[in-house]
Chain A
Amino acid sequence: MAQTSAETIKTTPLYEQHLAANGRMVPFGGYSLPVQYASGIMAEHKWTREHAGLFDVSHMGPGFLTLNNPGGDAEADHAAVAAIIEPLICGDITGLKPGNIRYTMLLNDQGGVIDDLMVGRSPLLGGALYIVVNAGTKDGDFAIIEAAAGDKARLMRADADNALLALQGPEAVQVLARIAPGAEDLSFMQYRAFDWNGERLIISRAGYTGEDGFEILVSAANAARLWDALLADDRVQPAGLGARDSLRLEAGLPLYGHDLDASVSPIEAGLGFAVSKRRREAADFPGASRILAEREGAPGRIRVGLMVEGAPAREGAEILDAAGSVIGVVTSGGFAPSLGKAIAMGFVPPSHAEIGTALQVSVRGRAQAATVVPTPFVPHRYFRKSKAS
């Protein structure tokens, strides 16, 4: 976890709520946030898988990129705003339907990942995008996007004046439908605005746990009221950063700064699905030559999931082949509460990446057995409306 000095540590609009719930506050991404509440990581993790966990993710970087001079034709305005951000990323934004969100990556010229992020097309306005980037990278990301926007569009950061809540788990939809009727009609990776007692909520059906769930952008002034209203439902318990990390690890989702960094390409990271077809065919994104070559041939390394015997293998643990030679490194690892076993993600050469390959991990100088397994470790349970309906 990134640590920040006490002088610069920020609080979120939900700080008092965390203290009231006995949150154990730690510095993370420049903010004081709860790593857990009284019930502990294990209980919060399992509650989220079975019911609904409520997370404060206000450290993230939400923002809106909006055309300065929209022409009024929704499609043309969308194409214009998409054309601003597409040269920075590998996703097809032009092709997004109103209200749809795409997971994509900001790339450097070498095809390395500057950040992974969500980009949504406004369900109402032409020429407006909803963007959510990571906490630790948001200042740099927003500077890049602003530079690309020039005088054509403006980026309104929404991180300082708002809170971002995540409600995740199989019961999240019933809970949220009572507060924001119609939220249940969103499909995975869709968003729109809802009215809540005269307050505007931006609700997206997305998350970082592998479960069905939502992320809710709410003004700082109303954040505590919304938090309390969600928690008043017996199906909801607050969950901290510890459970967020163990849930995303089980879901096989990468964490920027750990599983992804400026040296890792989307192909190496196993995120080739996020390099959109139209963009591949046009080869018009940063680092396209490397990324397309890796996609056709073989990258030097690839992210795999590992089922680990014995003690958890944490970030930085060496991955060994069956003979004991170092072939890679663990980038995320820990204990999987849903499986009762240690799991890890890390990078190995493609020759050792086949499912079922017997490898080892070095924990405190001892080699432990590890097997390459498919990710997600725990199946995703996203809600996708059938196209026919």
Chain B
Amino acid sequence: MTTKFTPDHEYIRVEGSTGIVGITPYAQNALGDIVFVELPSVGKVLKKGDEAAVVESVKAASEIYAPVAGTVSEINEALSGEPGLINTDPESGGWIYKITIADASELDGLLDDAAYAELTK
């Protein structure tokens, strides 16, 4: 199981052909209290870089982009009632959506742990 990162602070945790996408602890801290999450529809086909979801803090809305191309296979319905999960547990309970990865080679273009840590240090 590997986790990759985008320069826009999304993570994608790869489990076989599925990627679990959310935002990093660094990103949730920067955004502040999340009060609303607009989730994609299951079955939505995304290109790398497409807007996949929107998270809203008290102050502002932020787009969440697709780290790789694929099809949305599952969404985290718990966020509709409890958007703050993104703040309290961004890497686990606060995941946003799962994507069936269309082309695994796109993962190679993303940041690994060390590169992301360097970006946010």
Contacts and interface: CB of A to CB of B under 8 A. Distances in A.
A364 B36 CA distance: 14
A311 B36 contact: yes
B110 to A, nearest CB: 26
A36 interface: yes
B75 interface: no
A23 to B, nearest CB: 13
Residue of B35, B38, B57 contacting most chain A CB atoms (<10 Å) = B35
B52 to A, nearest CB: 13
Interface string B60-90: 1100000000000000000000000000000
B90 to A, nearest CB: 15
Nearest to B33: A42
Interface residues of B, number: 12
Nearest to B30: A24
Nearest to B36: A311
Given A45-B58, A364-B54, A311 B38 contact: yes
Interface in A304-345: 310-312, 314, 334-335, 337, 342
B56 A41 contact: no
Contacts of A242: 32, 58-59
A19 B54 CA distance: 30
Contact of A40 (B33, B36, B38): B33
Nearest to B56: A312
Contacts of B60: 314
A45 B56 CA distance: 17
Interface string B38-55: 100000000000000010
B54 A41 contact: no
A42 B58 contact: yes
A334 B54 contact: no
A42 to B, nearest CB: 4
A29 to B, nearest CB: 16
A342 B58 contact: no
A311 B58 CA distance: 11
Contacts of B59: 35, 41, 242, 245, 334
Given A45-B58, A312-B35, A335-B36, 15 more contacts: A40-B33, A42-B33, A42-B35, A242-B32, A242-B59, A245-B59, A311-B36, A311-B38, A311-B56, A312-B36, A312-B56, A314-B61, A334-B58, A335-B56, A364-B38
Interface of A: 35-36, 40-43, 45, 242, 245-246, 310-312, 314, 334-335, 337, 342, 364
14 contacts: A40-B32, A41-B57, A42-B35, A242-B59, A246-B58, A310-B36, A311-B38, A311-B54, A335-B35, A335-B36, A335-B56, A337-B35, A337-B58, A342-B36
